[in-house]
Structure 1
């Protein structure tokens, strides 16, 4: 369809100009860099449970010269979730890809550094326990965002990604008053059950660690 002559005259006063693309100044990392959520502390440890877990994993595996980056928004990460590990070759790894990269860097270790296969299996069982009960309790203990933060998030043109675990922070709907007439919305979590399982897991881990100089004989 042809544009009417009147519109052509108007558009001629506003010619279309295309700007060249901005030059990329980013250089591939010379050292592995872990993208994490920041913390209010100056010790470099993340305030996020998952990011802190992977920081500890890299440290316990003996990796050196791992840089930390805290200025990356989750929207810029794989699957919109931190942490990510930026490694040589300009590769970006999600959390589940970090162990394979560590094994590649350190070489295949028999029983992952444990003294026996039984110790390795027991360690995996403890890790599963910690990632279940303890991880859930730490997520639940995080303070929900304030009203100001919620309003700013709603008005922001770039909303942040909310991980599924954030649903654990939903509060219990009161059973009295006018709100009791409304059906509950969202996920309802038994806080007492989570705290009880957390305490039992920590007590069991404490009892196990008290008998070893090194955790499960790992060096």
Structure 2
């Protein structure tokens, strides 16, 4: 497998969770969510580097957190994030190792991604340019106008819910980010930036346990998953 670096943006707030600290630092089963998330990547073959982007006041905490991981073959680095997720990832891209071939971007609050899915996504990215973990949409999706009037019902069979990691060939992702910066374009995810410059990105089917912990109910579900009750 190609050499892999992982970028984990962790600069978001805990506002929607109703917490005083950012969501990645909330406790889950005796460890913070971010620690669970990092550990999921340490069993992946050819993992070389993990870069966490966070607000400046949390950088010392992240650097202290790194001491809990003893994998000598993996380089750990914390960098200051930006005002938007996209700018945090751009900052992290500046410190990616030269020898790395693939870059994964993963939400800090998705602590249940399986290493086998990460490796499958890496294989797809190596072949076509980019791979995105996702699941088929299970609900009917409605398109609305500014007044919330329904204007269309897209064919659900062609709709997927994108998750992370989203993994790309390093040079392709860097090119996409540089283009977005030059044009002052902000996308909804990393794949949208790569799609914008004509890059090929393929969906890789994941599972629904790879949830993003955003609201208090998500933390309750995460506790059930952690305790093998779901």
Q: Structure 1 length normalisation: TM-score?
A: 0.23
Q: Which is bigger in relative contact order (C-alpha 8 A, separation at least 6)?
A: 2
Higher strand share: 2
Q: Structure 2 length normalisation: TM-score?
A: 0.22
Higher helix share: 1
